[in-house]
Amino acid sequence: MNAFGLPEILFLLQGLKWTVLLTIISFIGGGVIGLLIALARVSTSPVIQRLAAAYIALFQGTPLLMQLFIIYYGLALLQINVDAWIAVSFAYTAHASAFLGDIWRGTIQSLPRGQTEAANALSLGYVSRMRDIILPQALKISLPATIGFAVQLTKGTSLAAIVGFIELARAGQIVSNLIFQPLLVFGIVGLIYFAICWPMSIWGTRMERRMSRNHA
């Protein structure tokens, strides 16, 4: 009973499954909404621009843990009964949308103004200008930062453990409480996170280096 065996490993892997799913769901959801936020942030309407800026500032100026608490308990207060995984996915999606929105806002604004002017001179409409000219370039430049955020998001999902959602970190806590070997268990849990995050970090850094070399 008091040993780290196959059942414990399987339980951790079960948690890992949720860590990965939660990251993927919120990265995709956050990506879609984040794109809208980025477009709103560079909009020509000052009202829309300011609303998007406030949305980003709100998420960047408060702890991720509080964002999680507010959405988790807020849904309960509104008597919206959803599964825990939906509630936490919702919170991480909102979080990711603000950060991705700000990253992409930055790369859209980093493009030379001539790009927009040339598109206007060719009398391209807004949709075509964004879809065919601006976004493909902006998203490409943003890749290293976007991958960097994916690493942050993967690590960030561990905070779902604090609201009791059983992902990898919470699974680790449960196993640790069961077999009284916190160092072994949290060491293994840490290494699993490392095995996911490190390759992504290396990928992002290499891409960044390659890009800055091409520009030099």
Partner 1 sequence: MNQLDFGIVIERWDELLHGVALTLALSTAGIVCSLIIGVIGVAMHRTKNPLLQAPVIAFVELIRNTPFLIQLFFLFFALPLLGVRLNPTITAIIALAINGGAYSIEIIRGGVESIPRGQIEAGAALGLSSTQIFRDIVLIPALRAIYPALSSQFILLTLTSSVCSSISASELTHFAQRIESETFRSFEVYFTITGLYLLISWLIMTALSSIGRRHFSYPN
DSSP letters of 85-130?
A: HHHHHHHHHHHHHHHHHHHHHHHHHHS-HHHHHHHHHTT--HHHII
Taking CB under 8 A as the rule, does residue 207 contact partner 1?
no
The stretch near partner 1 (CB under 8 A) out of 45-53, 92-100, 136-144, 156-164 is 156-164
Identify which of 71, 128, 131 has the alpha carbon closest to the alpha carbon of residue 98: 71
Taking CB under 8 A as the rule, does residue 177 contact partner 1?
no
Q: Give the nearer residue to partner 1 in terms of CB position, either 24 or 155.
A: 155
The footprint of partner 1 on residues 49-78 (CB under 8 A) is 58, 61-67, 69-70, 73-74, 76-77
DSSP letters of 137-206?
A: HHHHHHHHHHHHHHHHHHHHGGGGGGGT--SHHHHHHHHHHHHS-HHHHHHHHHHHHHHHHHHHHHHHHH
Q: Give the nearer residue to partner 1 in terms of CB position, either 3 or 183.
A: 183
Q: Give the nearer residue to partner 1 in terms of CB position, either 42 or 168.
A: 168
| Binding residues vs partner 1 (CB under 8 A) | 58, 61-67, 69-70, 73-74, 76-77, 79, 151, 155-156, 158-159, 161-162, 169, 172-173, 176, 182-183, 186-187, 189-190, 193-194, 197-198, 201
